[in-house]
Amino acid sequence: MNNPRGIGRTINWFLVSTLFLSVMFAGAFAETDARKILDGVYEQDTSHDTTMRGVFDIFDKDGHKTTKKFMLYRLGSPGDSKTIVRFSDPPEIRGVALLSYNHTGDTDRQWLYIPATQRSRSVAPRELSEKFAGTDFTYEDVEERVLDNFHYRLLGDSEMIDGHKTYKIEAVPIDSSRSQYKYVYYWVGQDVPVILHAEMYDRDGKLVRELHASALKKVSGMWGARHIEMKSVEDKTRTVLTIDEAKFNQHLDEKLFTPEDLGEVPATKH
Amino acid sequence: MFLALWHISLLQWWNHRLRLLLTTMGIALGVAVFFAIRTANVTLLDSLRLTVEKVAGKATLQITAGETGFPEEILDKVRATPGVKLAEPVIEVIARTAFPDEGNLLILGVDTAGDQQLRDYEFDKSQTQISDPLVFLAQPNSILLSRAFADRHSLKIGDTFPLYTSMGRKDFTVQGTFKPVGIGEVFGGNIAIMDVYSAQVVFNRGHNFDRIDLMNSPDVPVETVQRNLHANLPAGLEIVPPQTRGQDLESAITAMRVGLTITSFTALLVGIYIIFNSFTIAINQRWKEIGILRAVGVERRNINLMFLCEAFLMGVIGSALGVVAGFYLAAIGVKVMANMASAVYGFLSTSTPVVFSYKYAIISMLLGVTTSVVGAWFPARAASQLDPTRALHNIEARNREAVLGWRRVTLGLVLTLSSLALMIWTPSGVGATFQFSYAVLMLLGLTTLLPKLIEILSHVLRPIMDWLGGAEGSLAVDAMIQCPRRSSATVGALMVGLMFVFSTAAYIQSYRHMVDRWMKESLNADIFVATSTTMRSTTYHFSEELGRQIAAIPGVKRLENVRFTTIPYDGDSAALIAIEMNGFMARAVDAVQGENQKVLLDKLPKGEGVLVSRNFALRWKKHVGDSLTLNSPTGALTRPILGVLDDYRSEKGTIFIDRALYKQYWHDSAVDFFFLTLNPGVDPVVAKREVQNLTANTIHAFVYTQVEFKKWVYGLVDQFFVLNYMQLVIAVIVSVLGIVNTLMISIFERKREIGIIRAIGGLRVQIRKLILLEAVAISIVGVALGALAGMCSTEFNVHTVSMVLVGYAVPFLIPWTLILISLPVVIVVSLLAGWWPAQHASMKDIIEAIGYE
């Protein structure tokens, strides 16, 4: 210990190992941070049920617009929920309803109700890359995100989007068969736990879709975007999802979230 | 030596060019028909299989339950089966378009999301609107068209076009198009896609699917998945690879293929006869030449070889011509067969070009050459065994006794009677092609007996001809008696040709008689309402609700809802008729043989027993009292057979069960026919109009009174007999060829005889009369023997073809009217054929004619 070279050596060793350990655990720490950040986005939703009124404005590559209006009803919490999307406009699809059962660890089950036939039919598991209802959102984009299916890495924390400082997070699927994407970048607001921007890259590493959220609003203690735009880069099409109204904990009747009763409009339980 | 003989043959050919041409044409005809039918058969089967496989796409297994379909709940069980990667439901219909120039459209009802992983369709991305799958699913009249069909009718996205559905004529909206690749090539591009659940509604499928197509997981073998599915699903479902379904199609049209095989072999048989005929005449003409050759030392073997080589070469030339002609005929044949397959069996095929098959061309050539050599065998042998001394004598000094001797007669009788005995007593398990040899045996026997039969008939005819034509008439018949070998050739050709004509007519007449009886006994409703102009439609069905509306029409005493479908049975298939047994028994109880009426009337309506058709009972060796187990999509159904009746809707046999029992097990309430019984005194024509008015705006229904229905059934029977009519045409051509060929030759052969008659004072007009009266005598004998041979052939058709192969009890009827009509027709043809040679012979210089050898 009275050997200065030995102390120096010891100090050097300490410094190197600290540095090494910092580098080694920085990733894990960053991953933990990144994961935590995204957890924060989803965990803020503590509602028992959700009722939303929304509109899809779908623009083709020439800018022509078609509009689809819908109501969304969700019962349960992320990871264990039942969701109905019922379209009210245009007339051709009025009354069409899609029921999804989501349970972490199981494949989603879906049923579709068609008013013209007055029947519900089970729907085969969709290709993840298939477009939902003719919009630019794919089925993977609209389904409940299972955070455990991805590795996360914090890439930066200084970029600004719409006046909000953001965390830039990279999400890479653990099992490539469970996602159409090779990786996704998220920009999450540091001051608001909302994904403000996202870029999706396909298996070749090519940018295929961009999402941008705006018109942030806090309802019942939960932050959400009321304006979400999804662009398909190659097709040059885009869809704007506008949430006109969102209500939580309306005591929706669970009995209506069944294939047999899909033709009925969910009502509140009194 | 060989070259010298070859030179002699060539000279003969040159001198008798017409005979050579006619003989070669005979071979060419036989080979052309054989090759055309084989090629058309293969082309049709290939196109049926291609359709099945293209429609199947990447599916490795398909699940069906005959034509009835099965409840859609089966789909969840299939998807839950280990090893199943992907399972998609299908409804497949052939719908009538309302375009005046367009026939049918194949519509696949699929779940478009998952189905694209199974089937190869490339959607056009050229549309300006964004394709909207929700609209496609939400609107039952949404449809996707193949680009070929869309272009043909100038249809774009958003346009509508009309189709006939189970709910009548409806407009469908085009929501997209797909390219003419993969599935877009099927059915000539006449293919469309719609949502499977919309198809259920529009084509009245209830909650059933026609089929499930599935793919196995790559790590689980197909056979394992098949086993797992069998364990998981009810026994009434067939789970097979798509290729097997293609083979099933082949088996389903067995009756048609057997008919084709018989027609093709008939054509070859006719070819053999023409060769035999021609060589017999040729050798007759060349006896002197043969005698000289033998006298200068040519061995028997070489004489034999000379004629066989001639036959071989004729065979090669004729076969080559036949193959070429057959290839072009095949294109017509494919169309005819495809129409039959569609009309009678409901199968659709994708039109494929006729491909020249070297394999079948070689087989046809070999058969043609063999036919030629076989046909010439006996005449060549006879020529080689000719005694040179006798051959060099006067041409009339023939070994007459040989052809009329007891040995030949005995042989002929043995052959003929054996063939008849074999026809009557052969067990049903013996193959069709083998049984065809009975017809060959019979023809051989009759040919062997021919000279004797001609002698006998000539003796009977002599006084008539004497009365009709005086001395010339007697001379004409005497010429037949004295030269039986020469006459045999001509009469033989007539006999064979007329045999086919009479037996075909007899068979069709018998079949119609059988259908008559069937309609009187069990198809005896007053009004019939059908969904299609073919025997049955797998696409269009009525609903029971429509039945209730029709039953409410004043004057209708009773309405029976009838479902006519096919189900898998014991590795094959059988027809199934589900009918309200109360109504059926009320009008058709006398048609049933089995339990006593009280038992039938009591048990059948309760579903406590079933009936089967006679051909079903024969085919499956079932009897009254036996248990019958049917595997339905929901489980096995076992009931006793209470009775047997004649029914001719399906060569596979038909099972009759009560409709309520059928609906209970098959979950299928579709209706294919309404049978109406009217109150006494109600005019069927008025009732028919009422039904038509009722159905005018709902569905495309075909309404018939009993008289009209019978005509309609006859029309379907005629469609089935298209092949037999083809045989008739061949037979007529053969008859004409045979008459022309042999009459001309036999008349030339008698030049010396004619010269002698002229020398002793015979007038030219008498010569002409003599020749023509001989033609008349030959015709009469030919018709008589043709009728005899026709009856033997009819026995073959009725017993072997109908009863043994298909199980139908066709009565044996003789077409007397046709026989009587054919006599003057044949006489006229013979006179026409004999006119020029008679003219020519009568104008010949006497010295030259006497010197003719």
Rounded to two decimals, the ipTM of the complex is 0.75
Backbone angles phi, psi at B849, to 5 degrees: -65, -40
Looking at the predicted structure, is the pLDDT value of residue A81 above 60?
yes
CA distances to A154, B480, B659 from B487, rounded to whole Å, are 108, 6, 64
Percent of chain A surpassing pLDDT 90: 40
Confidence band of B348 (pLDDT split at 50, 70, 90)? low
Are the C-beta atoms of residues B144 and B193 closer than 8 Å to each other?
yes
Fold of A4-261: outer membrane lipoprotein receptor (LolB), chain A (2.50.20)
Nearest-CA distance from B138 to chain A in Å? 6
Using alpha carbons, select from B299, B147, B233 the residue that is nearest to residue B634: B233
CA distances to B532, B540, B710, B721 from B716, rounded to whole Å, are 12, 18, 10, 9
In this structure, what token pair is assigned to residue B104? 């049918």
CA distances to A150, A183, A185, A200, A208 from A204, rounded to whole Å, are 18, 10, 15, 11, 10
Using alpha carbons, select from A101, A102, A135, A99 the residue that is nearest to residue A119: A99
For residue B79, give the chain A residue with the closest CA.
A124
Q: How would you class A221 by CB atoms within 10 Å of its CB: exposed for 0-12, middle for 13-18, buried for 19 or more?
A: exposed
Q: What integer is the mean pLDDT of B164-173?
A: 84
Residue B382 pLDDT: 78
Which residue from A62, A87, A123 is facing B134, i.e. has the nearest CB? A87
Neighbours of B387 (CB within 10 A): 11
Q: What is the rounded distance in angstroms from the CA atom of residue B329 to the CA atom of residue B323?
A: 10
Conformation bin of residue B426: beta by default, left when phi > 0, alpha when psi is -120 to 50: beta
Helix (H), strand (E), coil (C) string for B51-63? HHHHHHCCCCEEE
Contacts of B114 in chain A (CB under 8 A): 124-125
CB-based contact, B134 to chain A, within 8 Å: yes
- Which residue, among B112, B137, B141, would best test binding to A if mutated, counting the most A CBs under 10 Å from its CB? B137
Q: What integer is the mean pLDDT of B813-831?
A: 83
Confidence band of B843 (pLDDT split at 50, 70, 90)? confident
Looking at the predicted structure, is the pLDDT value of residue B686 above 50?
yes
Tell me which amino acid residue B491 is: V
Looking at the predicted structure, is the pLDDT value of residue B490 above 90?
no
Q: What integer is the mean pLDDT of A159-177?
A: 91
Q: What integer is the mean pLDDT of B263-268?
A: 69
Using alpha carbons, select from B136, B133, B202, B121 the residue that is nearest to residue B174: B136
Q: What is the rounded distance in angstroms from the CA atom of residue A247 to the CA atom of residue B445?
A: 98
Confidence band of A6 (pLDDT split at 50, 70, 90)? very low
CB-based contact, A127 to chain B, within 8 Å: yes
Residue A11 pLDDT: 35
In this structure, what token pair is assigned to residue B164? 């006939």
Q: What is the rounded distance in angstroms from the CA atom of residue B392 to the CA atom of residue B288?
A: 5
Structure confidence by residue, pLDDT tens digits, B693-741 = 888 866 678 899 998 888 888 877 776 666 666 666 666 666 666 666 6
Distance of CA B633 to the CA centre of its chain: 33
Residue A5 pLDDT: 35
DSSP string, B334-381: HHHHHHHHHHHH------------HHHHHHHHHHHHHHHHHHHHHHHH
Q: Crossing angle for the helix pair B706-720 and B722-749, nearest 10 degrees? A: 60
Q: Crossing angle for the helix pair B764-795 and B432-482, nearest 10 degrees? A: 160
Contact A114 B138 (CB under 8 A): yes
Structure confidence by residue, pLDDT tens digits, B175-209 = 888 877 777 777 778 889 998 988 988 888 888 89
Mean confidence (pLDDT) of chain B = 81
Name B413's Cβ contacts closer than 8 Å, sequence gap at least 6.
B445, B449
Nearest-CA distance from A245 to chain B in Å? 23
> Is pLDDT larger for residue B8 or for residue B89?
B89
Say which DSSP state B150 is in.
H
CB-based contact, A115 to chain B, within 8 Å: yes
Please tell me the pTM assigned to this model.
0.70
- Which residue, among A112, A114, A130, would best test binding to B if mutated, counting the most B CBs under 10 Å from its CB? A114
| Residue B95, CA atoms < 13 Å, CB-side half-sphere | 34
Least confident window among A28-32, A53-57, A151-155, B521-525: A28-32
Q: Which residues pair with B107 in a beta bridge?
A: B93, B192
Looking at the predicted structure, is the pLDDT value of residue B78 above 50?
yes
Tell me which amino acid residue A44 is: Q
Residue B188 pLDDT: 72
Mean confidence (pLDDT) of chain A = 81
In this structure, what token pair is assigned to residue B116? 């694209």
Residue A147 pLDDT: 82
Using alpha carbons, select from B223, B237, B231, B227 the residue that is nearest to residue B60: B223
| Residue A124, CA atoms < 13 Å, CB-side half-sphere | 23
Q: Crossing angle for the helix pair B254-285 and B300-345, nearest 10 degrees? A: 150
Residue B658 pLDDT: 96
Nearest-CA distance from A95 to chain B in Å? 9
Hey, where are the domains in chain A? 4-261
In this structure, what token pair is assigned to residue A219? 């309802």
Residue A20 pLDDT: 36
- Where are the extended beta strands (E) located within B179-330? 191-195, 208-209, 211-216, 238-240
Q: What integer is the mean pLDDT of B106-125?
A: 72
Q: What integer is the mean pLDDT of B790-805?
A: 76
Looking at the predicted structure, is the pLDDT value of residue A4 above 50?
no
Confidence band of B835 (pLDDT split at 50, 70, 90)? confident
Hunting for tokens 């099992």 — which residue is that? A175
Residue B528 pLDDT: 93
CB-based contact, B776 to chain A, within 8 Å: no
Beta strands B104-110 and A49-59 are: unpaired
For residue B142, give the chain A residue with the closest CA.
A92
